[in-house]
Amino acid sequence: MRTRFAPSPTGDLHLGGAWTALASWVLARARGGRVVLRVEDLDPPRVVAGSAARVAEDLTWLGLDWDEGPDVGGPFAPYTQSERAERYAAAVDALDALGLVYPCDCSRKDIARAASAPHAGEELRYPGTCRDAPRGRAMKREPALRLRVPTDARVGFDDGARGRLDQDVARDVGDFVLRRADGVYAYQLAVAVDDAHMQITHVVRAVDLLASTPRQLLLLRLLGMHEPSYVHVPLVLDADGRRLAKRAPRETVRALREAGVTPAQILGRLAQGLGLRDTDEPATAAEIARDAESREIAWTRDDWRAPSTWE
């Protein structure tokens, strides 16, 4: 078993990040597997300098370690997406050789968001404007590259927390971006290629990325690459029941640490929220993994509200 934690270095680790990191870490550690840390820094304007190192520090403080990653290396290095462009280019070339890629010079606004993971509510169906435009025509601007999604692209999979799911990618999403006009590879392509290349067996992430999974699986199936299993855990909400914003400094691991909260207090509560333990008593990462060894992991489907106080 191989799992990964794939933070975007756009700010400090917040509780939602710690939650998915704990879930993927425990799954691997309870089953004798390996943990990969991958830094998803594809979108230059969103990257905050120094944040990848701070996130790694916060994970270490929590007691969540990794076997492969930017700092320790490993058989699938590099583990930082901005250093992996050759692999993404090769995947686009392979799809192009199948006749599945076309240039698109539609407006930037539509295309801009392609490099970031589209968290809930950001979906947009591309109507296929450039799909059948003649090859070699004059472009209005530097084009993006899109996948020509096959019309029979119904993609089904068994989610480890949510059961059988499927989606008609052509109908619901349309031809999605593989590479933006500025040359940045899209989140969907990069993540699918990296998970396959790094031989991730279980992608554990929050449910707001569930809608991306059929696209990633479609790419892997078209490329004939290894398919991981997926586990989509629920969201962490703030004490008022709203989605955690990256900007909310109160819910960062660092802020809790500075306020004197211990790793065991944080992990104990997260573990209960995830369905890994019956109590929310403080527990170290190792204790949580040990408990999970002897039980069937039944991931919760309920969003978890971060407590307003930690004593």
Residues near ligand GLU (CB under 6 A) are 6-8, 40, 117, 191, 205, 209
Please pick, among 197, 246, 250, 257, the residue that the annotation labels catalytic.
246
- The verdict on whether 246 is a catalytic residue reads yes
Please state the closest distance from residue 85 (CB atom) to ligand GLU, in A: 16
Please state the closest distance from residue 173 (CB atom) to ligand GLU, in A: 16
Q: Residue 140: CA atoms inside 13 Å, Cβ hemisphere, count?
A: 8
CA angle 76, 205, 251 (to 5 degrees): 115
- Cβ-based burial of 98 (10 A; exposed 0-12, middle 13-18, buried ≥19): exposed
Strand locations in 15-131, DSSP E? 34-37, 101-104
Residue 40 or residue 238: which is nearer to ligand GLU going by CB? 40
Q: Is the peptide bond before 249 cis (omega within 30 degrees of 0)?
A: no
Please state the closest distance from residue 153 (CB atom) to ligand GLU, in A: 20
Please state the closest distance from residue 252 (CB atom) to ligand GLU, in A: 14
| H and E: helices and strands count for the chain | 10, 11
Residue 130 or residue 223: which is nearer to ligand GLU going by CB? 223
Cα 183 from chain centroid?
21
Residue 237 or residue 264: which is nearer to ligand GLU going by CB? 237
User: Measured between alpha carbons, how far is 294 from 225 in angstroms, rounded to an integer?
Assistant: 33
Please state the closest distance from residue 191 (CB atom) to ligand GLU, in A: 5
Kindly state the greatest CA–CA separation across the chain. Answer: 65
Residue 7 or residue 69: which is nearer to ligand GLU going by CB? 7
* Alpha-helical segments (H) within 69-174: 85-97, 108-112, 169-172
Catalytic residues: 246
